[in-house]
Amino acid sequence: MKKSIHINCDLGEGGKFDEELMPLISACNIACGGHAGNLESMHRTVRLAMEHNVEIGAHPSYPDRENFGRSPVKMSEEDLKLSIEGQVLSLKQIAESEGGKLIHIKPHGALYNDAAKDENIARIILESLEIMDEDFKLYVPLNSKISELAMGKCDLIFEAFADRNYNENYSLVSRTGKHALITEKEAVFEHVFSIFKDQKITCENGVKIEAKADTFCVHSDTPSSLEIIEFLHKKFAEHGVGIRNT
Protein backbone atom coordinates (compact mmCIF):
# COMPACT_ATOMS: atom_id res chain seq x y z
CA MET A 1 0.00 0.00 0.00
CA LYS A 2 1.23 3.49 -0.83
CA LYS A 3 2.48 5.59 2.06
CA SER A 4 0.82 8.85 1.04
CA ILE A 5 -2.51 10.02 -0.31
CA HIS A 6 -3.25 13.13 -2.37
CA ILE A 7 -6.27 15.21 -1.32
CA ASN A 8 -7.64 18.15 -3.31
CA CYS A 9 -10.31 20.68 -2.43
CA ASP A 10 -12.30 23.30 -4.39
CA LEU A 11 -11.60 26.67 -2.76
CA GLY A 12 -12.05 30.38 -3.40
CA GLU A 13 -15.79 29.81 -3.78
CA GLY A 14 -16.89 31.98 -0.87
CA GLY A 15 -16.82 29.21 1.72
CA LYS A 16 -16.17 29.77 5.41
CA PHE A 17 -13.28 27.38 5.96
CA ASP A 18 -10.68 28.07 3.25
CA GLU A 19 -8.03 29.17 5.75
CA GLU A 20 -8.58 26.09 7.93
CA LEU A 21 -8.78 23.64 5.01
CA MET A 22 -5.73 24.84 3.08
CA PRO A 23 -3.03 23.50 5.46
CA LEU A 24 -4.68 20.06 5.41
CA ILE A 25 -4.72 19.39 1.65
CA SER A 26 -2.32 18.61 -1.19
CA ALA A 27 -3.89 20.71 -3.95
CA CYS A 28 -6.55 23.37 -4.35
CA ASN A 29 -8.82 24.09 -7.30
CA ILE A 30 -9.50 27.82 -7.31
CA ALA A 31 -12.75 29.26 -8.66
CA CYS A 32 -11.79 31.68 -11.41
CA GLY A 33 -14.92 33.65 -12.22
CA GLY A 34 -17.24 31.17 -13.92
CA HIS A 35 -19.34 29.78 -11.07
CA ALA A 36 -17.72 31.82 -8.30
CA GLY A 37 -14.65 33.88 -7.51
CA ASN A 38 -13.31 37.30 -8.45
CA LEU A 39 -9.91 38.97 -8.69
CA GLU A 40 -9.75 39.59 -4.95
CA SER A 41 -10.66 36.01 -3.98
CA MET A 42 -8.26 34.55 -6.55
CA HIS A 43 -5.34 36.62 -5.23
CA ARG A 44 -6.22 35.74 -1.64
CA THR A 45 -6.55 32.01 -2.33
CA VAL A 46 -3.33 31.85 -4.35
CA ARG A 47 -1.43 33.53 -1.50
CA LEU A 48 -2.95 31.11 1.00
CA ALA A 49 -1.95 28.13 -1.16
CA MET A 50 1.62 29.38 -1.48
CA GLU A 51 1.84 29.95 2.27
CA HIS A 52 1.04 26.27 2.86
CA ASN A 53 2.90 24.77 -0.11
CA VAL A 54 -0.34 23.58 -1.74
CA GLU A 55 -0.53 22.93 -5.49
CA ILE A 56 -2.44 25.66 -7.33
CA GLY A 57 -5.10 24.64 -9.83
CA ALA A 58 -7.72 26.45 -11.91
CA HIS A 59 -11.36 25.44 -11.54
CA PRO A 60 -13.12 26.74 -14.68
CA SER A 61 -16.82 26.16 -15.19
CA TYR A 62 -19.76 27.08 -17.33
CA PRO A 63 -20.24 30.84 -16.83
CA ASP A 64 -23.25 30.44 -14.55
CA ARG A 65 -22.95 32.00 -11.12
CA GLU A 66 -26.69 31.79 -10.53
CA ASN A 67 -26.61 27.98 -10.45
CA PHE A 68 -23.04 27.74 -9.09
CA GLY A 69 -21.98 26.06 -12.34
CA ARG A 70 -23.89 22.92 -11.46
CA SER A 71 -26.35 23.06 -14.37
CA PRO A 72 -25.41 22.50 -18.04
CA VAL A 73 -25.39 25.68 -20.11
CA LYS A 74 -26.19 25.75 -23.81
CA MET A 75 -23.67 27.98 -25.59
CA SER A 76 -21.67 27.96 -28.79
CA GLU A 77 -18.41 26.04 -28.96
CA GLU A 78 -16.48 29.25 -29.51
CA ASP A 79 -18.09 31.03 -26.56
CA LEU A 80 -17.44 28.09 -24.24
CA LYS A 81 -13.85 27.82 -25.42
CA LEU A 82 -13.26 31.54 -24.88
CA SER A 83 -14.86 31.37 -21.42
CA ILE A 84 -12.62 28.49 -20.31
CA GLU A 85 -9.52 30.18 -21.73
CA GLY A 86 -10.37 33.44 -19.99
CA GLN A 87 -10.95 31.81 -16.63
CA VAL A 88 -7.75 29.77 -16.73
CA LEU A 89 -5.59 32.62 -18.01
CA SER A 90 -6.96 34.93 -15.35
CA LEU A 91 -5.86 32.60 -12.57
CA LYS A 92 -2.57 31.81 -14.30
CA GLN A 93 -1.68 35.49 -14.46
CA ILE A 94 -2.71 36.06 -10.85
CA ALA A 95 -0.65 33.08 -9.66
CA GLU A 96 2.41 34.37 -11.51
CA SER A 97 1.89 37.91 -10.20
CA GLU A 98 2.01 36.46 -6.66
CA GLY A 99 5.20 34.53 -7.44
CA GLY A 100 3.42 31.20 -7.85
CA LYS A 101 2.66 28.82 -10.71
CA LEU A 102 -0.52 27.30 -12.05
CA ILE A 103 -0.01 23.52 -12.02
CA HIS A 104 -3.29 21.89 -12.93
CA ILE A 105 -6.77 22.36 -14.38
CA LYS A 106 -9.93 20.79 -13.01
CA PRO A 107 -13.27 21.63 -14.64
CA HIS A 108 -16.08 22.34 -12.19
CA GLY A 109 -19.56 20.98 -11.70
CA ALA A 110 -21.69 20.44 -14.79
CA LEU A 111 -18.74 21.13 -17.10
CA TYR A 112 -16.77 18.34 -15.38
CA ASN A 113 -19.71 15.94 -15.51
CA ASP A 114 -20.49 16.76 -19.15
CA ALA A 115 -16.84 16.20 -20.13
CA ALA A 116 -17.07 12.74 -18.59
CA LYS A 117 -19.79 11.61 -21.02
CA ASP A 118 -19.91 14.12 -23.90
CA GLU A 119 -17.05 13.84 -26.38
CA ASN A 120 -17.77 17.26 -27.86
CA ILE A 121 -17.56 19.07 -24.50
CA ALA A 122 -14.40 17.11 -23.68
CA ARG A 123 -12.86 18.18 -26.99
CA ILE A 124 -13.73 21.85 -26.41
CA ILE A 125 -12.03 21.80 -23.00
CA LEU A 126 -8.90 20.18 -24.41
CA GLU A 127 -8.73 22.61 -27.34
CA SER A 128 -9.08 25.56 -24.99
CA LEU A 129 -6.07 24.32 -23.00
CA GLU A 130 -3.97 23.47 -26.07
CA ILE A 131 -4.15 27.08 -27.24
CA MET A 132 -2.32 28.17 -24.07
CA ASP A 133 0.68 25.97 -24.95
CA GLU A 134 1.34 25.05 -21.33
CA ASP A 135 2.03 21.64 -19.79
CA PHE A 136 -0.80 21.69 -17.27
CA LYS A 137 -1.85 18.58 -15.43
CA LEU A 138 -5.51 17.79 -16.07
CA TYR A 139 -7.79 16.33 -13.40
CA VAL A 140 -10.21 13.90 -15.05
CA PRO A 141 -13.04 11.63 -13.89
CA LEU A 142 -12.56 7.87 -13.87
CA ASN A 143 -13.64 6.03 -17.02
CA SER A 144 -14.46 9.30 -18.84
CA LYS A 145 -14.59 10.61 -22.40
CA ILE A 146 -12.18 13.42 -21.58
CA SER A 147 -9.61 10.97 -20.19
CA GLU A 148 -9.83 8.91 -23.40
CA LEU A 149 -9.37 11.98 -25.62
CA ALA A 150 -6.55 13.45 -23.52
CA MET A 151 -4.55 10.25 -23.12
CA GLY A 152 -1.00 10.85 -24.34
CA LYS A 153 -1.60 14.57 -24.83
CA CYS A 154 -1.15 15.79 -21.27
CA ASP A 155 -0.42 14.59 -17.75
CA LEU A 156 -3.68 13.07 -16.50
CA ILE A 157 -4.58 12.95 -12.82
CA PHE A 158 -7.44 10.51 -12.23
CA GLU A 159 -9.77 11.76 -9.53
CA ALA A 160 -12.25 10.12 -7.20
CA PHE A 161 -14.66 11.97 -4.95
CA ALA A 162 -14.37 11.39 -1.23
CA ASP A 163 -17.76 12.85 -0.38
CA ARG A 164 -19.92 11.66 -3.30
CA ASN A 165 -21.65 8.40 -4.11
CA TYR A 166 -21.22 6.73 -7.50
CA ASN A 167 -23.39 4.89 -10.01
CA GLU A 168 -22.19 1.70 -11.71
CA ASN A 169 -21.24 3.64 -14.88
CA TYR A 170 -18.80 5.80 -12.82
CA SER A 171 -21.10 8.84 -12.93
CA LEU A 172 -21.83 10.62 -9.68
CA VAL A 173 -25.23 10.18 -8.07
CA SER A 174 -27.14 13.35 -8.95
CA ARG A 175 -27.15 16.06 -6.31
CA THR A 176 -30.94 16.01 -6.58
CA GLY A 177 -30.87 12.44 -5.22
CA LYS A 178 -31.17 11.51 -1.58
CA HIS A 179 -27.81 9.75 -1.36
CA ALA A 180 -25.65 12.03 -3.53
CA LEU A 181 -23.45 13.25 -0.69
CA ILE A 182 -21.48 11.30 1.87
CA THR A 183 -21.36 13.59 4.89
CA GLU A 184 -20.55 11.29 7.83
CA LYS A 185 -16.79 11.39 8.38
CA GLU A 186 -16.58 7.65 9.14
CA ALA A 187 -18.41 6.80 5.90
CA VAL A 188 -16.15 9.13 3.91
CA PHE A 189 -13.07 7.40 5.30
CA GLU A 190 -14.40 3.92 4.48
CA HIS A 191 -15.27 5.06 0.95
CA VAL A 192 -11.84 6.62 0.36
CA PHE A 193 -9.87 3.84 2.04
CA SER A 194 -11.55 1.21 -0.14
CA ILE A 195 -10.49 3.06 -3.29
CA PHE A 196 -7.01 3.82 -1.95
CA LYS A 197 -6.24 0.31 -0.64
CA ASP A 198 -8.36 -2.06 -2.74
CA GLN A 199 -9.03 0.09 -5.84
CA LYS A 200 -12.76 -0.51 -5.51
CA ILE A 201 -15.72 1.87 -5.31
CA THR A 202 -18.82 0.60 -3.57
CA CYS A 203 -21.66 2.18 -5.54
CA GLU A 204 -24.93 3.43 -4.08
CA ASN A 205 -26.58 0.10 -4.99
CA GLY A 206 -23.82 -1.93 -3.33
CA VAL A 207 -22.06 -3.04 -6.53
CA LYS A 208 -18.26 -2.73 -6.46
CA ILE A 209 -16.47 -1.27 -9.50
CA GLU A 210 -12.77 -0.97 -10.31
CA ALA A 211 -11.24 2.40 -9.45
CA LYS A 212 -7.63 3.58 -9.45
CA ALA A 213 -7.39 7.20 -8.32
CA ASP A 214 -4.42 9.56 -8.10
CA THR A 215 -6.25 12.19 -6.04
CA PHE A 216 -9.36 12.45 -3.89
CA CYS A 217 -11.63 15.49 -3.72
CA VAL A 218 -13.44 16.81 -0.67
CA HIS A 219 -15.81 19.67 -1.57
CA SER A 220 -15.41 22.70 0.66
CA ASP A 221 -19.20 23.22 0.64
CA THR A 222 -19.91 19.69 1.86
CA PRO A 223 -21.29 19.89 5.42
CA SER A 224 -18.51 19.17 7.93
CA SER A 225 -15.82 19.34 5.21
CA LEU A 226 -13.25 20.52 7.75
CA GLU A 227 -14.19 17.77 10.20
CA ILE A 228 -14.03 15.23 7.35
CA ILE A 229 -10.51 16.17 6.26
CA GLU A 230 -9.23 16.30 9.85
CA PHE A 231 -10.67 12.80 10.35
CA LEU A 232 -9.03 11.55 7.15
CA HIS A 233 -5.67 12.78 8.47
CA LYS A 234 -6.24 10.93 11.75
CA LYS A 235 -7.43 7.65 10.24
CA PHE A 236 -4.85 7.46 7.45
CA ALA A 237 -2.10 8.20 9.98
CA GLU A 238 -3.27 5.15 11.95
CA HIS A 239 -2.50 3.10 8.82
CA GLY A 240 0.90 4.74 8.34
CA VAL A 241 -0.29 6.88 5.44
CA GLY A 242 0.25 10.64 5.25
CA ILE A 243 -1.65 13.25 3.26
CA ARG A 244 1.07 14.63 1.03
CA ASN A 245 2.02 18.06 -0.14
CA THR A 246 3.25 18.49 -3.70
Q: What is the pLDDT of residue 245?
A: 67
Residue 155 dihedral angles phi and psi, to the nearest 5°: -80, 110
Give tens-digit pLDDT for 29-80: 999 999 999 999 999 999 999 999 999 999 999 999 999 999 999 999 999 9
Q: What is the pLDDT of residue 86?
A: 97
Domain count, the chain: 1
Q: What is the pLDDT of residue 244?
A: 80
Q: Which of 245, 240, 246 is nearest to 3 (CA)?
A: 240
Residue 178 dihedral angles phi and psi, to the nearest 5°: -65, -35
Q: What is the pLDDT of residue 133?
A: 72
What pTM value is reported for the model?
0.95
First to last CA, the chain: 19
Residues in the chain predicted with pLDDT less than 50, given as ranges, are 246
Query: Which residue segment(s) compose the domain that 224 sits in?
Result: 4-243
CATH of the domain at 141: 3.20.20.370
101 to each of 8, 180, 232, how far by Cα in Å?
17, 34, 27
